[in-house]
Structure 1
């Protein structure tokens, strides 16, 4: 009985680590790993010496605040993942894709190449930013992103400051879009498979043609 119970617990843990949650998908992708409401502490270093060095050696772009006074996102200042300039989210204007992820989330890692490919092709029209959310090991998130060729800017929200607002993450990955009029909408809950899928969802949600 004890052995069976232990096996069951192990199976559940493996499912969570693999990103097999139960949140519904908005666009047909796989579900993400469920998240707690909010971590108890935001005292996580998102720019250790090792992270700064790794980012410097990569092609990840520098974080740069936008020029808007209120582009539609909440006024929350987030540090740059791996070091760099922090940014007030309210300074960003749409159209914009915002991807919420974590380093140990399997679907997050699997969709990174799709988001990067979309960014390389359409980033001049619809930029992409990543936000490592409620993650106590942001170094892993940065490493996973770099290893998958991600170059778009990435921020961090270790303390869950976004929770309860328009960018709430009940599971990861979760991707939102910000329209040019400042409207924030969920693009996809769960991993996306290709740049074509990202493009299709963005066009449908924003009512644009890329």
Structure 2
């Protein structure tokens, strides 16, 4: 799996510019989530912890997917300390390119913008997420 990110633009959750996914470069972790999704809520502390630990070495972006309540999504992201940019995919533009059955899903993107791995479902532990970042993106901290 070494294709680039799809050429779709998504609006920012909250205030901010639209982002064209094809322009993004890594090392990057893209987490597809929704505030109504229990497994997304369960894994959110792992993503917040990764962002704290990996800092400038790994970028994180969230995509609030198929979520009718943007206000609740913003509230959830703030409560969970998900202090990285979040985009909105209300129209499920990412469904086909990422093969999304439903959230959560986490994509790993290398420094050249290639999509190197997709993890379907929630992470079961911090160790699982950290290990994937090390194995797929070659990033350690």
Unaligned runs of 5+ in 2: none
CA displacement at 1:193 relative to structure 2: 4.2
CA displacement at 1:168 relative to structure 2: 3.0
Q: Distance in 2 between matches of 1:142 and 1:108?
A: 14
Question: Which structure's relative contact order is higher, taking Cα pairs within 8 Å and 6+ residues apart?
Answer: 2
Q: What's the counterpart of residue 48 of structure 2?
A: 116
Q: What's the counterpart of residue 68 of structure 2?
A: 136
Q: What's the counterpart of residue 191 of structure 1?
A: 122
- CA RMSD across the alignment: 1.8
The structure in which a higher percent of residues are strand is: 2
Residues 147 and 208 of structure 1, relative CA distance in 2, 3 Å threshold: closer
Q: Distance in 1 between matches of 2:55 and 2:124?
A: 18
Q: Distance in 2 between matches of 1:208 and 1:117?
A: 15
Compute the TM-score of the two structures, normalised by the length of structure 1: 0.61
Deviating runs (4+, > 4 A) in structure 1?
Answer: none
Corresponding pairs, count: 139
CA displacement at 1:176 relative to structure 2: 0.5
Compute the TM-score of the two structures, normalised by the length of structure 2: 0.88
Q: What's the counterpart of residue 106 of structure 1?
A: 38
Q: Distance in 2 between matches of 1:127 and 1:207?
A: 13
Q: What's the counterpart of residue 170 of structure 1?
A: 101
